[in-house]
Amino acid sequence: MAVIDNESPDQGSESFLIESGLYTDEDVYQLELERIFGRSWLFVAHESMVPKEGDYITTFMAEDPVIVSRGNDGHIRVLLNKCLHRGNKVCLFDRGNAQRFRCSYHGWTYNNQGGLGSVPLLKDSYMGDLDIGEMSLPAPRVANYKGLIFACWDKDVISLEDYLGEDFRWYLDTFLLDADPLGLQVLPGRHRYMMPVNWKLLAENFGGDQYHFASTHSSVIAISQRPEAGRIVHSEHSGEHYSAEFTSEKHPPHGLLQLAVGEQFYQEDMNMANGLGAEAASWVTNRHDRLQERLGDLKTRPYSFHTANVFPNLSMVGLATALYGRSLIVWQPRGPMRTEVWQWCFVERSAPDSVKERMAFTLTQRQAAAGMVAPDDHENFERTSDNLRGWEARTVPFHYGMGKNSGSTSVLPELPGRVLPQISESYQRSFYRHWRKQMRQNV
Amino acid sequence: MCDLGKLTHLHGAITRFYAKETALLDDGDLKSWLKLFADDIRYTMPMRESVQGEDAVDLIDREGLQFYLFNDDKESLELRVERLYTGLAPGETPPSVTQRLVTDILLTDTSTDEVEVRSSFLVFQVRHDFHETIFAGRRMDRLRPMDDDFQIARRKILLAQSVLPRTVSIFF
Ligand code: FES
Ligand SMILES: [Fe+2]
């Protein structure tokens, strides 16, 4: 397949022109389902979505429908939501609590650990010629990283810890997963919405494209000084900001944006928290104290990062301030030019109610299905996809050349990973380089 | 006037109020539309989920901490409108063409001064070119009589869709 095998025109090892076929071609897409989504750790749930035995949610691993079920033994499993008999769904709700999943077609029934528990007419019509004790719903490998549940269909995949990589895990731990002593709490009402564009353009945007913010979201910048905006703004353009990239031969590339360094960001959070009352202010203070402990004696004092992408299709947003909902987004691929977006809002469990409400409010108003940010991204991508219908337009590659000659050393070597200027296209280049490599592996 | 006469009169007044609101939205006069809302408005739209053992109809009344699609008060609605008036939002450039139908207007509680009203809506949105979307749903409003007219004091919206056909850049 040309787009996988060929290096792009005028590429050295540092490719920066990407052919449009990556975003339009059905054959490429089908191969991605096998080689990218079939072989990567995919985010499926957070522990707090299935707190009790019998709790489940249904979701997708790319196009494959799965149930994330906490069985009666307390273990979380991921089960293909497809009856072993003739392929019907066995679980029909978005979430709930169930002892068993009963297929409506002929009535095969599975327990909440995936095992086939009963089959109608097993004695009378199968005459004992079906060993249901051996049969269970297909289940991928599952791993739990500090509450984030990932699954992978590839039995030989590296461990989830190695997949995330030590450097990126430091940021995940420091700013998201170890931030609250009681952990994260998912809120009801996850968003699901369609975006008419290839999933890769969304994933690499969250991991590496700070460049677009000033143009695409200029309406948000334009209103940010208004008094009505006081509840939802944070400094994106003032203060010290970086991006960071985690690229290695050992794991796929991950990237993050708006790495904020310095005390100013804490002061801004304090100002907002003061507006919510003494309880909120003292929570933000304690949170900051805990962060100082985690940072230890680092001379560089980062406060937060805001967005990230975990290869391939898990993105994050909302981490910039203590008062913004922590959001996980999965870009579920739905064909070469369609993506179904799944987005959850989390709050830090120890926060007072006033802070939790503000967190959810801020996310809702900004990067969410009906917020003031996402519709503008949507529109750009829709027009981009429209253009890719053109025969001639498809021959013009996408340009990812920013910063390609600016070297690969970290600008803050004291911190893990490769810290880069805030605006760069380095992550995208790494993303596509890795994507091509993984697409070529035909074992 | 008998009770039935009063109710018919009220129903007619509310129908005219909604027709006026629909025209403001379809004409893109969002600043005038905002004036229909009381200063203490709460304007919410929860995201639909099918939860085993829970009644989907209850969702519109789900209160408490959640990840809403809209969770607005007067100030945040004003901010949303101000943003669109900057002319800098690609998601509404050029502005969407919308054609709304508001129907099935049912007065569900007339026992106090404020009237509880349930209605159905269909919004046909043309973003640009062939990008056309239908949003269908229901609204539960609390209308406050005000100088021969009404103000919307509470609006709860529930879309029929469980996967939104696109991101939302319009109002309901
Ligand atoms: S398809 Fe499930 S029981 Fe037949
Ligand atoms: Fe964006």
pLDDT of residue A443: 73
Instruction: Render pLDDT for A290-327 as a digit per residue (tens, 0 to 9).
Output: 999 999 999 999 999 999 999 999 999 999 999 999 99
CATH class of A165-439: alpha beta
Mean pLDDT split into 10-residue runs, chain B, 172 residues: 87 98 98 98 96 80 94 98 97 97 97 97 96 97 94 97 97 98
* CA B172 to chain CA centroid, nearest Å: 4
The phi-psi region of residue A167 (left if phi > 0; otherwise alpha if psi is between -120 and 50; otherwise beta) is: alpha
Q: Does ligand 1 have an atom closer than 6 angstroms to the CB of A291?
A: no
* Mean pLDDT of the A112-133 span: 95
Distance CA A356, CA A350 (A): 9
Q: Residue A226: exposed, middle, or buried by beta-carbon count in 10 A (0-12, 13-18, 19+)?
A: middle
* Mean pLDDT of the A220-245 span: 92
CATH class of A42-143: mainly beta
Interchain CB distance below 8 Å, B71 and A361: yes
| Length, in residues, of chain B | 172
Residue B78, domain member (yes or no): yes
* Contact by Cβ (8 Å): A352, A280: yes
What are the start and end residues of each CATH 3.90.380.10 domain in chain A?
165-439
* Amino acid identity, position A83: C
pLDDT of residue A13: 46
Residue B52, domain member (yes or no): yes
Q: How many CA atoms lie within 13 A of A208 on its CB side?
A: 27
Look at ligand 1, atom 4, and give the residue with the nearest C-alpha: A106
Distance CA A214, CA A374 (A): 14
Q: Which helix (H) or strand (E) holds B137?
A: strand B131-146
Residue B170, domain member (yes or no): no
Look at ligand 1, atom 1, and give the residue with the nearest C-alpha: A86
pLDDT of residue A9: 44
- Least confident stretch, A157-161, A170-174, A300-304, B147-151: B147-151
Instruction: Render pLDDT for B54-79 as a digit per residue (tens, 0 to 9).
Output: 776 678 888 899 999 999 999 999 99
Atom of ligand 1 nearest to the CA of A90: 2
Q: How many CA atoms lie within 13 A of A392 on its CB side?
A: 0
Q: Is the Cβ of B39 closer than 8 Å to some Cβ of chain A?
A: no
Confidence of residue A238 (pLDDT cuts 50, 70, 90): confident
pLDDT of residue A10: 45
Residue B171, domain member (yes or no): no
* Mean pLDDT of the A111-118 span: 98
Q: Is the Cβ of A401 closer than 8 Å to some Cβ of chain B?
A: no
Q: Is the Cβ of A411 closer than 8 Å to some Cβ of chain B?
A: no
Confidence of residue A3 (pLDDT cuts 50, 70, 90): low
What percentage of chain B has pLDDT greater than the value 70?
98
* CA A407 to chain CA centroid, nearest Å: 28
Distance CA A8, CA A1 (A): 13
Q: The domain containing residue B133 runs over which residues?
A: 3-159
Q: Does ligand 1 have an atom closer than 6 angstroms to the CB of A83?
A: yes
* Contact by Cβ (8 Å): A66, A59: yes
Interchain CB distance below 8 Å, A378 and B78: no
| Length, in residues, of chain A | 443
What are the start and end residues of each CATH 2.102.10.10 domain in chain A?
42-143
In this predicted structure, the answer to whether residue A364 has a pLDDT above a threshold of 90 is yes
Look at ligand 1, atom 3, and give the residue with the nearest C-alpha: A106
* Contact by Cβ (8 Å): A290, A183: no
Instruction: Render pLDDT for A10-27 as a digit per residue (tens, 0 to 9).
Output: 444 457 999 999 999 999
Tally of domains in chain B: 1
pLDDT of residue A2: 66
In this predicted structure, the answer to whether residue A61 has a pLDDT above a threshold of 50 is yes
In this predicted structure, the answer to whether residue A350 has a pLDDT above a threshold of 80 is yes
Distance CA A238, CA A225 (A): 13
Residue B96, domain member (yes or no): yes
Three-state secondary structure call for residue B12 = helix
pLDDT of residue B2: 73
In this predicted structure, the answer to whether residue A164 has a pLDDT above a threshold of 90 is yes
pLDDT of residue B148: 86
Strands (E), A106-175: 109-111, 116-118, 141-145, 148-152
pLDDT of residue A7: 56
Three-state secondary structure call for residue A431 = helix
pLDDT of residue B1: 60
More confident position, A198 or B56: A198
* Mean pLDDT of the A401-423 span: 93
Interchain CB distance below 8 Å, B51 and A228: no
**Cβ < 5 A residues, ion ligand 2:** A 377
What percentage of chain A has pLDDT greater than the value 70?
97
Instruction: Render pLDDT for A28-59 as a digit per residue (tens, 0 to 9).
Output: 999 999 999 999 999 999 999 999 999 999 99
Q: How far apart are the first and last CA of chain A?
A: 16
pLDDT of residue A406: 82
DSSP for A17-52 reads: EE-GGGGT-HHHHHHHHHHTTTTS-EEEEEGGGS-S
Interchain CB distance below 8 Å, A356 and B65: yes
H helices, E strands: number in chain B: 3, 6
Q: Is the Cβ of A387 closer than 8 Å to some Cβ of chain B?
A: no
* Amino acid identity, position A301: R
* Contact by Cβ (8 Å): A79, A69: yes
* Amino acid identity, position B41: I
Residue B141, domain member (yes or no): yes
In this predicted structure, the answer to whether residue A169 has a pLDDT above a threshold of 90 is yes
The three-state (H, E, C) secondary structure of A273-325, written as one string: HHHHCHHHHHHHHHHHHHHHHHHCCCCCCEEECCEEEECCCEEEECCCCCCCC
* Mean pLDDT of the A169-192 span: 98
More confident position, A120 or A406: A120
* Mean pLDDT of the A371-378 span: 98
Q: Is the Cβ of A122 closer than 8 Å to some Cβ of chain B?
A: no
CATH number at residue B76: 3.10.450.50
Residue A175 is classified by DSSP as I
* Mean pLDDT of the A194-208 span: 98
ipTM of the prediction: 0.96
